[in-house]
A and B are shown apart, each in its own frame.
Chain A
Amino acid sequence: MSERTRHQPLFLQGGRVVDPEQKLDQPLDLLLVDGRVAARGEGLDSPEGAEVLDCSGLVVVPGLIDVHVHLREPGGERKETIASGARSAAAGGFTSVCAMPNTDPVIDSPATVGFVAAAGRAAGASRVYPVGALSLGQKGERLTEIGELVEAGAVAITDDGHPVMNSGLMRRALEYAQTFGIPVADHPEDLGLSRGGGMNEGLVSARLGIRGKPNASEDVHILRDLLVAELTGGHIHLQHVSTRRGVEAIREAKARGVHVTAEATPHHLLLTDEAVDGYRTDAKMNPPLRSAEDREAVVAGLLDGTLDTLATDHAPHHYDEKEQAFDDAPFGVVGLETSVGLMLTHFFHKGRIDLNTLIERMSRSPARAFGLPGGDLSEGTVADVTLLDLEAAWAVDPKTFLSRSRNTPFRGWELKGRAVRTIVGGRSIWDLDGGWSGGA
């Protein structure tokens, strides 16, 4: 981080500071020096030589963190690169992202983990943390050298995109990873129940003639993972939970003390499988958009903390890959640049969630789940800060994305509230007016 520490101190004056660590929500000044929060308080004096940012009318929050993104590099640079993904993150108010390992080649060795970490640093945008594969080649057969991956910079392991079908392997991963203090993240899907499916199994799939993935295909693996986590005492992190029964099972497991953290995505919170009607490939992702009942359960899970982490599952695809018949188009939607705007518009402004809880889900919980710096604005904490304008009205226009891809189901949505500045390590790397200012 040394390249991030030597620059002018930043003085954030007069903003409304929301910090879920202390459930803080009040006007405060914040001084960022040498990459850390140096001081926080009311009516602080701006030190000599500091750059002063007038934050009146803005909300100052710990930098947003997305523990589930696909940056596609190496191998899928047409869709996204680590640099473009890190800039897209910055433009969405994210100061840190965790890059999934299902690239080509798979991130399953210290060298490839090191490559992702180095490319992330070189991008000079949001922090990019590599997530290593759980099994070699994500083949579901043998564990990767988890200790060495962690030494090289991996913050978690997962076979995301290639569900772990062997429960014994999941057991070994949950046991072995404990030495290194990292979570085992899982994309819960029983392929035997879901193979060939392109969307949620239900009335819409029956009408459209698309093979369905039933809820049970996800529920079975959520239950399996919870039971194996309980057996081993390991930390299971369940990705993009989309089903009612899945949410219920996690709620119950948390109550009995299983070490589980879990994600909800903006698209599962806001859309149902009706969005697929008309064979819309921008509404095709895995797990699929499900029924209204499932969506409501995911919302309830996010609100009560069963789903403690908001993650986008940012999955860029080149436009010509999505410009195909539905069955032929790949799964996935981009999410980094719409996430906080959607959440502010459809949850905060509608009175369904308060700012402290929203920032808890978007910063503090993910930081704690993956052991990342940040997640709060206490003195001495890493100076990753996001400035939000709660009232900014804007419409989602994929053409403006810093991501290389445009595959969003939220095209044209009118939103209220967004990130207007992203500060990483005490340095402003993106702002709404000036755009990208990180160099490199």
Chain B
Amino acid sequence: MTREPSPLGKDLIGLEELTGEQILSILDTAEPFKEISERRIKKVPVLRGKTIVNLFMEPSTRTRISFEFAEKRLSADTVNISASGSSVVKGETLVDTARNLEAMRIDMVVIRHGSSGAARFLADRIPSNVINAGDGAHEHPTQALLDLLTIRDHRHELEGLKVCIVGDILHSRVARSNIFGLLRLGAEVGVCGPMTLVPAGIEALGVRVFRRIEEAIEWAEVLNVLRLQLERMQGGFVPSLREYNRFFGVTMPRLEAAPRDLLVLHPGPMNRGVEIDSDVADGPHSVILQQVTNGVAVRMAVLYLLAGGAPERAEAAKKGGMG
């Protein structure tokens, strides 16, 4: 199978595999695509004739819909497969699912899967482009890319910026992708959470660990607040949600005590009153809804680049074809 070479390679599995230059080219490509979603007719023919499968083996609303909008606004034909109501629940293995999809001659797969490494596994076995929409606790690259884009919108320069990721680092693919992406772009990265939810040895990745949220807030310029999965309480990682909010919650009094104005991100969906208080989520520090808007543009950029589009032609591509 021959394809036009993409500046990203065949797949987008994780930001760990990308250079800073590649990450910046995705962000730069996303800029012109932002405007498409603001039009009355939100559609350009960039991916006309391409077939994309959204293979979601884990429940997802926001990411799946964001990808679907991105695909449709670029005129791709899309099919959604979710774990419930598919052959997956009938016991079909991932490799068989992949081979069957491939046999129907598709162009791209967007995969969400509960196991770390599942996206790489799929990418190594099919010639289609594979985009990782979250694999276990490994990576969620498009989420981190939209976070980076949103931070850049407000802080302009990522190099040297102090960003702290707060919450369940251990189980979070969002955390890993953000760490890899931010470090590639020269940001300083901190993580903060109860030590039950901070992986052992994470300092070796080049991040700073804060045990208290107050110290993290004092250090950081940007906070990326992760969702606390409610099952973590049953798993014994935190004694109670109330206590979690008391010691690790991002609250207005804590932000007001900070030495500078912080930018607050959250990948959603939020547990209001647990990891983030409502007055923060809805307040002046929050850029949470802008993240969602940027998510569509970033995903359009990734789809465009993997399909062989050139970053410098993205502006022209909006008007028609691959540019």
What residues make up the interface of A, taking CB atoms closer than 8 Å to B? 201-203, 205-212, 214, 278-279, 320, 323-328
Contact = CB atoms under 8 A, between A and B. Distances in A.
A327 B204 contact: no
9 nearest A-B pairs in the assembled complex, by CB-CB distance: A279-B117, A209-B138, A325-B115, A209-B137, A327-B115, A209-B116, A325-B118, A206-B199, A326-B117
A437 B137 CA distance: 50
Nearest to A291: B201
Contacts of A320: 93, 95
Contacts of A211: 137
Contact of B93 (A201, A210, A324): A324
A206 B115 contact: no
A326 B201 contact: no
B113 to A, nearest CB: 7
Contacts of B176: 207, 209
A202 B202 CA distance: 8
Given A209-B137, A320-B93, A279 B116 contact: yes
A324 B94 contact: yes
Interface of B: 16, 93-95, 113-118, 120-121, 135-139, 173, 176, 199-202, 204-205
12 contacts: A202-B200, A207-B16, A209-B116, A209-B135, A209-B137, A209-B139, A320-B93, A325-B94, A325-B113, A325-B121, A327-B136, A328-B94
A210 B116 contact: yes
A13 to B, nearest CB: 52
Contact of B201 (A203, A209, A279, A323): A203
B204 A206 contact: yes
Nearest to A212: B200
A320 B92 CA distance: 12
Contacts of B199: 201, 205-206, 212
A95 to B, nearest CB: 38
Contacts of A208: 116-117, 138
Nearest to A323: B95
Given A211-B137, A323-B95, A325-B94, A206 B202 contact: yes
Contacts of B93: 320, 323-324
Contacts of A324: 93-95, 121
Contacts of B135: 209, 325
Given A209-B116, A209-B176, A210-B137, A203 B205 contact: yes
B121 A203 contact: no
Given A279-B116, A327-B115, 4 more contacts: A201-B201, A203-B205, A206-B202, A207-B16
Nearest to B235: A196
Contacts of A206: 199-202, 204-205
Contact of B136 (A209, A278, A323): A209
Which of A211, A320, A325, A326 is most buried by chain B, counting CB atoms within 10 A of its CB? A325
A340 to B, nearest CB: 32
Nearest to B139: A209
A219 to B, nearest CB: 14
A9 B136 CA distance: 61
Given A209-B136, A279-B120, A326 B115 contact: yes
Contacts of A278: 120
Contacts of A326: 115-117, 121
Nearest to B137: A209
Contacts of B116: 208-210, 279, 325-327
A208 to B, nearest CB: 6
Nearest to B118: A325
Given A209-B173, A279-B121, A326-B115, A203 B95 contact: no
Nearest to B136: A209
Nearest to B198: A206
A201 B200 contact: yes
Nearest to B173: A209
A402 B4 CA distance: 45
Contacts of B204: 203, 206
A319 to B, nearest CB: 11
Contacts of A327: 114-117, 136
Nearest to B176: A209
Nearest to A280: B117
Contacts of B121: 279, 324-326
Which of B94, B121, B202 is most buried by chain A, counting CB atoms within 10 A of its CB? B121
Which of B136, B176, B204 is most buried by chain A, counting CB atoms within 10 A of its CB? B136
Contacts of B118: 325
A328 B91 CA distance: 13
B200 to A, nearest CB: 6
A328 B200 contact: no
A400 to B, nearest CB: 24
Contacts of B139: 209
B201 A325 contact: no
A328 B16 contact: no
B114 to A, nearest CB: 8
B173 to A, nearest CB: 6
Contacts of B117: 208, 210, 279, 325-327
A328 B202 contact: no
A209 B170 CA distance: 8
B214 to A, nearest CB: 25
A326 B113 CA distance: 12
Contacts of B114: 327
Which of A214, A320, A323 is most buried by chain B, counting CB atoms within 10 A of its CB? A323
A371 to B, nearest CB: 41
Which of B137, B139, B205 is most buried by chain A, counting CB atoms within 10 A of its CB? B137
A208 B200 CA distance: 13
Contacts of B94: 324-325, 328
Which of A202, A211, A214, A279 is most buried by chain B, counting CB atoms within 10 A of its CB? A279
A323 B117 CA distance: 12
B27 to A, nearest CB: 23
